[in-house]
């Protein structure tokens, strides 16, 4: 009977608890490393080459989208201020370096950002840059607007602040003369003056140059138009500057042939029309009816002046001597009559109080 040889007794003793625990921990560590490596996107494992990063479509698309964003920024017409804005640059740097930091709550990972639709990414870049640019421009525009636009000024007054002195004494204007109160008030305010011999010549027709002088001395009005170089008003003419001012402020006009005719006498209708024009008065709707009820000679008013005469009547500018019912529009206006009309216009403008005179025509 044969017996098989017995195996030699093993010198290997069973693992104790500490050795078994060490083996388990080692296996778990290797498993975690393998799990971490295989779970990374864009990485493959080879027993010979270890972990390798393979090029991904997302990375290619990221490179392409970055170039597309830059081209779109130029194509969309973004200004250099948008591109060079420090806030925008810092934001772009944060996006490019996002993968270097641990994920934060509420923020997308780099791969998620790369998978955004390219058009949407471009729109975000444009929208953020434009918003920052617009806010800067808006503030600048507001500042510029505030500096360029002064606060509204009060409406310019037609009243001229002037010193009041004693009225001039004219040898041909007695105390009982009908226009003496008007002449005295204007002479005390340096609006009218007399002649070197101490006379006023109240019944002498007023000339266009004299009318321009009185109107511009009485009223301070803004210029409405350019001055006109009239062929019959030389630069050294005594009333040249007053004529220019009367034309620019809308009180007077020249003639179609380029002349002003400064020495021509002025009919009453033209004196009243000049003041109505300069003060910007508007004609009432019932112009003809109002004139017919106030003046017995209303039919002699030229058609072109009906509205202006009605406006003068409504404003209380008219003073007639000796008969208040006679306008006599085509008669040359005397120096005394013009003084009375200018005084009434200053009452209308608020500079003077009304004089109690029986020759003032009330509507």
Q: Express each pLDDT in 236-288 by its tens digit.
A: 999 999 999 999 999 999 999 999 999 999 999 999 999 999 999 999 999 99
Question: Per the omega criterion (within 30 degrees of 0), is the bond before 322 cis?
Answer: yes
Residue 61 has pLDDT above 90, yes or no: no
Angle at the Cα of 363 from the Cα atoms of 338 and 339, rounded to 5 degrees = 10
State whether 224 and 87 are in the same domain: no
State whether 216 and 324 are in the same domain: yes
Q: What is the span of the domain harbouring residue 314?
A: 180-349
State whether 277 and 132 are in the same domain: no
Residue 47 inside a domain? The answer is no
Residue 165 inside a domain? The answer is no
Residue 211 inside a domain? The answer is yes
Structure confidence at residue 19 (pLDDT): 73
- Tokens 């216009």 -> residue: 345
Beta-bridge mates of residue 319 = 360
State whether 90 and 198 are in the same domain: no
Structure confidence at residue 239 (pLDDT): 97
Confidence of residue 29 (pLDDT cuts 50, 70, 90): confident
- The pTM (predicted TM-score) of the whole model is 0.58
Residue 158 inside a domain? The answer is no
Confidence of residue 33 (pLDDT cuts 50, 70, 90): confident
State whether 120 and 208 are in the same domain: no
Residue 71 inside a domain? The answer is yes
The least confident of 141-145, 168-172, 317-321, 332-336 is 141-145
State whether 139 and 279 are in the same domain: no
State whether 235 and 139 are in the same domain: no
The residue with greater pLDDT, 136 or 239, is 239
State whether 203 and 280 are in the same domain: yes
State whether 266 and 221 are in the same domain: yes
> What is the domain count for the chain?
2
> In angstroms, rounded to a whole number, what is the distance separating the alpha carbons of residues 345 and 217?
13
């Amino acid at each position: 009977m044969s017996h098989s040889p017995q195996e030699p007794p093993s010198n290997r003793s069973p693992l104790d608890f500490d050795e078994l625990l060490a083996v388990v921990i080692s296996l778990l560590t290797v498993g975690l490393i393998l799990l971490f490596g295989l779970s990374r996107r864009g990485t493959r494992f080879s027993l010979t080459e270890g972990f390798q990063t393979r090029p991904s479509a997302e990375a290619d698309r990221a490179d392409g989208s970055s170039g597309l964003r830059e081209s779109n920024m130029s194509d969309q017409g973004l200004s250099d201020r948008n591109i060079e804005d420090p806030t925008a640059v810092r934001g772009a740097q944060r996006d490019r370096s996002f993968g270097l930091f641990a994920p934060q709550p509420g923020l997308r990972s780099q791969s998620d950002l790369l998978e955004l639709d390219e058009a949407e990414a471009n729109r975000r870049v444009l929208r953020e840059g434009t918003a920052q640019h617009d806010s800067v421009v808006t503030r600048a525009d507001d500042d510029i607007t505030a500096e360029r636009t002064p606060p509204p000024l009060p409406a310019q007054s037609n009243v001229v602040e002037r010193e009041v002195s004693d009225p001039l004494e004219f040898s041909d204007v007695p105390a009982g003369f009908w226009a003496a109160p008007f002449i005295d008030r204007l002479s005390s305010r340096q609006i009218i003056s007399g002649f070197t011999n101490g006379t006023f010549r109240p019944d002498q027709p007023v000339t266009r140059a004299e009318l321009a002088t009185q109107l511009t001395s009485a009223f301070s009005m803004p210029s409405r138009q350019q001055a006109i170089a009239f062929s019959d008003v030389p630069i050294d003419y005594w009333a040249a500057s007053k004529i220019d001012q009367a034309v620019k402020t809308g009180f007077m006009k020249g003639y179609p042939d380029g002349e002003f005719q400064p020495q021509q006498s002025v009919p009453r209708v033209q004196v009243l029309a000049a003041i109505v024009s300069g003060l910007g008065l508007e004609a009432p709707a019932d112009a003809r009816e109002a004139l017919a009820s106030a003046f017995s000679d209303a039919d002699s008013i030229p058609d072109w002046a009906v509205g202006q005469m009605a406006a003068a009547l409504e404003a209380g500018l008219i003073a007639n001597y000796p008969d208040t019912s006679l306008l006599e529009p085509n008669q040359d206006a005397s120096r005394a009559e013009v003084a009375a009309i200018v005084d009434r216009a200053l009452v209308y403008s608020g500079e003077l109080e009304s004089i109690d005179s029986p020759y003032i025509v009330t509507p």
